[in-house]
Structure 1
Amino acid sequence: MRAEELMDVYAGARRRVAGKGLPVVTLLDGVFDAGGAVAAMRSSLIDGLASTPLAEFDADLLVDHRATRPRITFHDGSFSSYTAPRLAVDVLTDDLGNQALLFSGAEPVLGWERIAAAFGELLDDVGAGSISVVHSVPLPVPHTRPISIRRHGDDSGESIGPFEIPASFSHLVETRLTEAGRDVSGMTIQVPHYIADSEYPPAAVAGLEAIAADAGLAVPTEELRQAGREVDAHIAAQIEDNPDAERLVAGLELRYDVDAPQLAQRSTLVAEGEQVPDGDELGAAAERYLRSVDEAEGQQPKDQEK
């Protein structure tokens, strides 16, 4: 089954990018989008750079609308401005004229293998270059340290797994492209687990910086950086005078500094000789902290949380 049978490919855009070996960025919804990083990165790229459609899948048939719940506006007694889900490949162009392909949008509910194959066929058709596939997951890391991004298949020598996780369409795309011998770089953005259900702009900034390095794009990030500073200030205010939260973060900082000395210096929040809380204590502290945050947020309007 050819790519054109599953998606509309725009001939004019295809002619303009064919043979250029453009880098490819893949930002797809899935099981996790910790910190809203993938969604924020996608918005920044499409809104901040010039964007031209190259190919579009029929999202109306392929996407589970009940799971993704598209947005619609209600104003003065009427509905309008329905935002339909989208699964597409776009050509991005930055202010310097650098270009890349972006495969992004809602996760399809059907035809994963066929769509992944059609996407690979499209990349072959236009002679695309290296591919970056980005995910974000919640992990026990502190928000007070630089966001870490783990490259899949790196040569660090560290053995992880094997273990099974719920698969996303994005995982399958990365797997099939790698199996086909393409130059694929999978990246997992590690987001602090205790704020993974909220928007965390620093995670998106870290991902965009990695994309900029891989794809050679000049990516706008200042708006996200400012939002990140505001979020960090909000988190700091919530943690202040909360011993459970301070103990949680201090323990995560110490473990981060031991596990990743190249990314951060040793934490000074745990005094020398002080006993570091074990995993059970950290888990209990996390539960108490998150419960206290939920209770506090329940007492204030949502627009005051940001």
Structure 2
Amino acid sequence: MEPSALFTWDLPAGPAQPAEAAAPAGSLTPPADVVVDRDDAPGDAVREVAPAHDAAVAPAELEAPLPASLDDVDATVLVHAMRGAIDAGHAGALVAGHLLSAHPSRRVATFDVEELLDYRSRLPVLTFERTAFTDYVTPELALDYIATKDGGLLLLHGTEPDLRWETFSSAVREIVERLGVRTTVGLHGIPMGVPHTRPISVTEHGTREELLEPGPELFGTVQVPGTAASLLELRLGEHGHDAMGFAVHVPHYLAQAEYPAAAAELLRRLARVSRLPLSDAALEEAASTVREEIDRQVADAPEVAAVVGALEQQYDSFVQAAGASLLAGGHVPSADEIGAQFEAFLAAQAGEESEDPGDQPGPGSSGER
């Protein structure tokens, strides 16, 4: 199968038409289909549904042109935050939903999920009301242009491919080359033995060391479960394209819950790389609310409080010994320890897929996928 057959352009190739300015706040209400769904759905608990039409949901100062053709697309950064096997705290999905709801956007390309999705492993959700099926959450993988007052970026979001990883990687490379993307950035969360009461840390990785901020090496050489996103980064680098990623560390006891604090940290890293004004105010507000709920639940559960307390002592001891950060020294997990942590996380997610989608845990629970 040719890589170009995996996707369809949603913008004409050209000639370029006069750019259409995104409407300021108040001129359009946010379309109903630009949402972040919090339903506990097997395989797709957090989903960001891109608008079927153009979205104009930004503050007045973010009046920016939206591309009318492929020739109008001016974005040097493509960020991918796909829903897949590994996204602890739904950190990447929350960033994608935030970008779609906070900025004007336009659909650039749509992937053929029929060629990429293993439906039996993902089990998309249908709604049953009394005597009939009434709705179906259609899986989607799409590329949108996100506009800000200082320029735009491309967002690849939706369901991460189960199949045809190599063909998918080649297809994204074709898009990168056609649209003149200079840097591709992946965002996701990974479960770690860290407390929610301490500063959030992030592991950076990339195809060139020059892309990364100087910092200590945490993992050394290990083998971890592969994803389409990680293969994409590898293949882009092999073809001479800059690609990097941010893996935010999410407390393992919150890995299945939404954790906006982790998403806010990812957004700040993305803003640094893209040099675009990406406000994290909404995520920070959500993070504050969730933090209060987590603290309440921890206070009500002595056994959980004991775990958090032990993690705090471990973290503080490492920081004191290193004089800087948990990442600067202390115990470096072995390959077996890291692999076991990933396997436990994946096993927990696999178990979630068989649960009743009607159960909706609270913000600090561990039952949501």
TM-score (norm 1): 0.78
Q: Which residue of 2 aligns with 1:107?
A: 160
- Contact 2:82–2:158 under 8 Å retained in 1: yes
Q: Which residue of 1 aligns with 2:244?
A: 185
Distance in 1 of aligned mates of 2:184 and 2:174: 14
Q: Which residue of 2 aligns with 1:16?
A: 72
Q: Which residue of 2 aligns with 1:284?
A: none
Residue 76 of structure 1 and its aligned partner are, at CA, apart by 6.6
Q: Establish whether residue 86 from structure 1 lines up as the match of residue 145 from structure 2.
A: no
- Give CA-to-partner distance per residue, 1:151-207, whole Å, 9 cap, x none: 115553536232222111111111111222222221111000011111111111111
Match of 2:197 among 129, 135, 144: 144
Residue 64 of structure 1 and its aligned partner are, at CA, apart by 1.9
- 1:1-306 correspondence runs (5 A): 3-12=3-12, 13-17=69-73, 20-75=74-129, 77-94=131-148, 96-153=149-206, 154=212, 155-158=214-217, 160-240=219-299, 242-257=301-316, 258-259=318-319, 261-262=323-324, 302=360
Residue 217 of structure 1 and its aligned partner are, at CA, apart by 3.2
Compare the two structures and name the one with the higher helix fraction: 1
- Give CA-to-partner distance per residue, 1:34-74, whole Å, 9 cap, x none: 01112211111122222212111111232122333334444
The 1:225/1:71 distance shift into structure 2, 3 A limit, reads farther
Instruction: State the identity as a percent.
Output: 32
Name the SS of the counterpart of 1:205 in structure 2: helix
Distance in 2 of aligned mates of 1:136 and 1:159: 16
- Look up the equivalent residue of 1:204 and give its one-letter code: A
- Look up the equivalent residue of 1:57 and give its one-letter code: F
Q: Which residue of 1 aligns with 2:345?
A: none
Name the SS of the counterpart of 2:154 in structure 1: strand
Distance in 1 of aligned mates of 2:324 and 2:84: 30
- Tell me the matched-pair count: 269
Distance in 2 of aligned mates of 1:234 and 1:11: 44
Q: Which runs of 5+ in 2 are unaligned?
A: 13-68, 207-211, 327-336, 338-358, 365-369
Name the SS of the counterpart of 1:152 in structure 2: strand
The 1:112/1:197 distance shift into structure 2, 3 A limit, reads same
- Give CA-to-partner distance per residue, 1:250-292, whole Å, 9 cap, x none: 332233332475458xxxxxxxxxxxxxx9xxxxxxxxxxxxx
Distance in 1 of aligned mates of 2:144 and 2:360: 34
- Contact 2:4–2:174 under 8 Å retained in 1: no
Distance in 1 of aligned mates of 2:218 and 2:200: 21
The root-mean-square deviation of aligned C-alpha atoms, in Å, is: 2.7
Distance in 1 of aligned mates of 2:130 and 2:313: 54
- Look up the equivalent residue of 2:121 and give its one-letter code: A
Residue 77 of structure 1 and its aligned partner are, at CA, apart by 4.9
Name the SS of the counterpart of 2:86 in structure 1: coil
- Contact 1:29–1:170 under 8 Å retained in 2: no
- Contact 1:3–1:122 under 8 Å retained in 2: no
- Contact 1:35–1:199 under 8 Å retained in 2: yes
The 1:86/1:305 distance shift into structure 2, 3 A limit, reads closer
- Contact 1:35–1:200 under 8 Å retained in 2: yes
Residue 241 of structure 1 and its aligned partner are, at CA, apart by 6.0
- Give CA-to-partner distance per residue, 1:196-238, whole Å, 9 cap, x none: 1111111111111211222233334333323222221122122
- Contact 1:34–1:197 under 8 Å retained in 2: yes
- Look up the equivalent residue of 1:47 and give its one-letter code: S
Residue 93 of structure 1 and its aligned partner are, at CA, apart by 0.8
Distance in 1 of aligned mates of 2:268 and 2:108: 24
Distance in 1 of aligned mates of 2:152 and 2:305: 44
Distance in 2 of aligned mates of 1:215 and 1:78: 47
The 1:232/1:157 distance shift into structure 2, 3 A limit, reads closer
Distance in 2 of aligned mates of 1:7 and 1:123: 13
Distance in 1 of aligned mates of 2:258 and 2:132: 30
Distance in 2 of aligned mates of 1:89 and 1:186: 18
- Contact 2:6–2:115 under 8 Å retained in 1: no
The 1:10/1:162 distance shift into structure 2, 3 A limit, reads same
